[in-house]
Chains A and B, each alone.
Chain A
Amino acid sequence: MYTRREFGGLVLGGMASVGLFSRVSSAQSVFPPNRSLINGVQFGLQPFCYHDLPMTPANRGTLINRLVKNGLGMVELHATWVEPQFAAPGVSPEEVRQKQRQWRRTAPASFYQSIKKEFDDAGVTIFTYYVNLNDSYTDAEIDAVFAAAKILGAQGCVGSQGLRVTQRLASFPGKHGMFMGVHNHANLSDPDALNNEASFVKALSFSPHIQATLDTRHYTAANGDCLEFLARHHARMSSVHLGDRKRNNGRSTPFGEGDAPLIETLRMIRDNRWPIVALLEFEHGTLRPNVDEVQLMFDYCKRALA
Chain B
Amino acid sequence: MAGSAAAQSGGRPGYNEAFIGAPLADSVMQYNKESYVMYGCAYCHGVNLVPRGEAVDLRRSALVGSDVDGTLIVRALRAGFWQTTRLSPMPQYSDLSDQQLNAIAAYIHHARQRDRYTTLTQAPLPAGNATAGQTDFAQRCQSCHVGTSLAGIGKKYDAASLRARLLEPPGLTGGSFALDRLRDSQRAEARLRHERLLENHSAEQVANLVAYLQTLN
On A, residues with C-beta under 8 Å from B are: 51-52, 65-66, 69, 185-190, 193, 221, 245-246, 248-252, 283-292
User: Is B149's CB within 8 Å of the partner chain A?
Assistant: no
Contact status B91-A65, CB under 8 Å: no
Chain A residues lying within 8 Å of B126, measured Cβ to Cβ, are: none
In the assembled complex, the Cα of A284 lies from the Cα of B1 at a distance in Å of 23
Minimal beta-carbon separation of B84 from chain A (angstroms): 5
Q: Which residue of A lies closest to B6 (CB)?
A: A289
* B residues 76-113 touching A (CB-CB < 8 Å): 80, 82-85, 89, 91-95
Given A51-B19, A251-B95, A287-B15, do A190 and B85 touch, yes or no (CB 8 Å)?
Answer: yes
B188 at the interface (CB under 8 A from A): no
Query: Which one of A51, A65, A190 lies within 8 Å of B43 (CB-CB)?
Result: A51
Question: Known interface pairs A287-B37, A289-B5, A291-B1. Does A190 touch B84 (Cβ–Cβ under 8 Å)?
Answer: yes
Q: Which residues of A contact B9 (CB under 8 A)?
A: 289
* Minimum C-beta distance from A71 to chain B (A): 12
Q: Is the CB of A251 within 8 A of B89?
A: no
Residue from B14, B40, B42 within 8 A of A288 (CB atoms): B14
Contacts A51-B19, A190-B83 hold; do A287 and B38 have CB atoms under 8 A apart? yes
Q: Measured between C-beta atoms, what is the minimum distance from A43 to chain B in Å?
A: 19
* Contacts from B to A (Cβ < 8 Å): 1, 5, 8-9, 14-16, 18-20, 34, 36-43, 80, 82-85, 89, 91-95
Contact B82 A187 (CB under 8 A): yes
CB of A285 within 8 A of CB of B1, answer: no
Contacts of B92 in A (CB 8 A): 248-251
Once the chains bind, are A290 and B1 in contact (CB under 8 Å)? no
Contact indicator A189/B38 (Cβ below 8 Å): no
Least CB distance from B33 to A in Å reads: 10
With a CB–CB cut-off of 8 A, which chain B residues contact A291?
1, 5
Which residues of chain A come closer than 8 Å to B37, judged between CB atoms?
285-287
A129 to B82, CA, bound (A): 28
Contacts of A52 in B (CB 8 A): 8, 16, 18-19
